[in-house]
Structure 1
Amino acid sequence: MSKADRDRTAKARKIIEQQRAAERRRKVTIWTSVAVVAVLLIAGFIGYATVSGRDQGKLVIPGAAVDEGTAFAVGSGPVTVDLYEDFMCPNCKNFEATSGATLRQLAGSNKITLRYHVVSILDRYSNGTRYSTRSAAAAAAAAEDGKFTELHDALYANQPAEGSTGLSTATIVELARSAGLTSDRFVAAVEDGTYEPWVTKATDTFSARGFTGTPSIAVNGKQLTGPDDTVPGIDLITQTIDRAAG
């Protein structure tokens, strides 16, 4: 074999080895990618099961709940005002800012029974963290410690934006602590999602009663709306309360 032939053979052998090495690298890359995807899928499934599965737990109805176990009452007046809210709802925060104090005052003077219904119709706006459900469940736990309104107000004062991940469970616990909720029972209920199935039940009741959005207000069982089905202002609400009181 001439030197030229040997050179061509060596060059061909080198090319073949390079191709084989490239093929080995390609296979390693493919299998690595497959392994990464598999790990992500498994992790995602576990995460989904952990989050979504909490709603499938045991239904625990808060002892403080009224109205078929779906609400928390302030005051004991002759006229009942039902307020349906979602802690992720910006309109609910606006309603609380404009009307909440007056309703709380009427309840405090026992002119009305103000019943708060916390529901979770906006979970889809918290990037999979189910903030509406978690915050409502925390409020239920607060009610069991006699501090529903304290956490209710703190959650609205620190309301996350729609489309965000919402407040973490740890942040909710910290907010609650600043509102005077420090019991181990409360913290455990929030971290374990004890009342999350209850929130689902309360939301189902909300829908079954014909409500479709938050905030929704009813006076003595009759839904009250403003012009063109808008959220009623406090003047209309108080006028309706006065008429109902006779």
Structure 2
Amino acid sequence: MQATDTLVREMVQKRHRRRRTLVVSLVAAVVVIGAALVGVGLVRATNVMPDEVPSRVPVAATDDKAGLLASSGGVRVDLYLDYLCPECRNTEKALAGELKKLREGGDVSVVYHPVTFLDNRSSPEGYSTRAASAAACAADQDRFVEYSTVLFDRQPAERGPGLSETQLIEAGRDAGITDAAFGECVRAGTYTPWVRYVSDVAASRKVALTPTVMVDGKRVDVTGADAVGALTRAVTEARG
């Protein structure tokens, strides 16, 4: 039994090093047959779609209201990101140049999904929601991508309080936002219901890891050393 426990711990640790996982419960029993791991935990995924779309969504929301459309085209690239997720920060930095090319190329729909999977990793809880809601406010100012870049550059450590309301508003100025309506939107938490809806829809689509990148519905591993190459090949294949 001790050997089994050690195997479980090692595999869980390896998985966490590669990607952040939202874990809602541990499997009650682990069955090991011939040193094969059957299960280590349950992620936040469900087949149940949220019942109701929030009454207010960002200007750039997709038709299904579950993402932010940054460009339009025949091939669709979906990115699920949490602003407290270190691997998301790495992915954002690695893919920034390529994503810009895709957005400007005219034939790819780039859709961002700011999710709140790591709310319980801040103290007090809720930083992922506050940051994602502020990013949605930035989307109303047509500065979502720029604002996301600033948030990841200033990403706080886990278990702390995260950026304050004032800091989230200051980040907007550094992203080129000058409209006072942005600060009002952040202070009001206008898009808190929406980002929770986005997270629930993501879970219903079996997305429980951040970052998750999909090209025409197929997951692409962008956590390796050749993240740009992986994305480029997937888009090229989707273009046919």
TM-score (normalizing by structure 2): 0.73
Q: Answer 1 or 2: which has greater helix percent.
A: 1
Superposition deviation, residue 167 in structure 1: 0.3
* Equivalent pair of 1:87/1:136 in contact (CA under 8 Å): yes
* Distance in 2 of aligned mates of 1:231 and 1:164: 29
Deviation string for 1:100-152 (max 9, x for gaps)? 22122122122421111100000111102411000100111111111111111
Superposition deviation, residue 175 in structure 1: 1.1
Deviation string for 1:173-218 (max 9, x for gaps)? 0111122222222111100101001111000001000011100011
* Distance in 2 of aligned mates of 1:154 and 1:223: 26
List alignment gaps of at least 5 residues for structure 2.
1-53
* Distance in 2 of aligned mates of 1:130 and 1:137: 11
- CA-based RMSD of the aligned residues comes to 1.9
Indicate how the Cα distance of structure 1 residues 123 and 199 shifts in structure 2: closer, same or farther if over 3 A, else same: same
Q: Which amino acid in the other structure matches residue 205 of structure 1?
A: V
* Distance in 1 of aligned mates of 2:203 and 2:116: 11
Aligned equivalent of 2:147:
151
Aligned equivalent of 2:78:
82
Task: Report which structure shows greater RCO (CA 8 Å, sep ≥6).
Answer: 2
* Distance in 2 of aligned mates of 1:220 and 1:203: 19
Secondary structure, counterpart of 1:199 in structure 2: helix
Q: How does 1:21-60 map to 2 (within 5 A)?
A: 59-60=55-56
* Distance in 2 of aligned mates of 1:198 and 1:106: 26
Percentage of pairs with the same residue: 36
Superposition deviation, residue 63 in structure 1: 2.5
* Distance in 2 of aligned mates of 1:231 and 1:59: 41
Q: Answer 1 or 2: which has greater strand percent.
A: 2
After TM superposition, the structure 1 stretch with the greater mean CA deviation from structure 2, 70-79 or 132-141, is 70-79
Superposition deviation, residue 230 in structure 1: 6.9
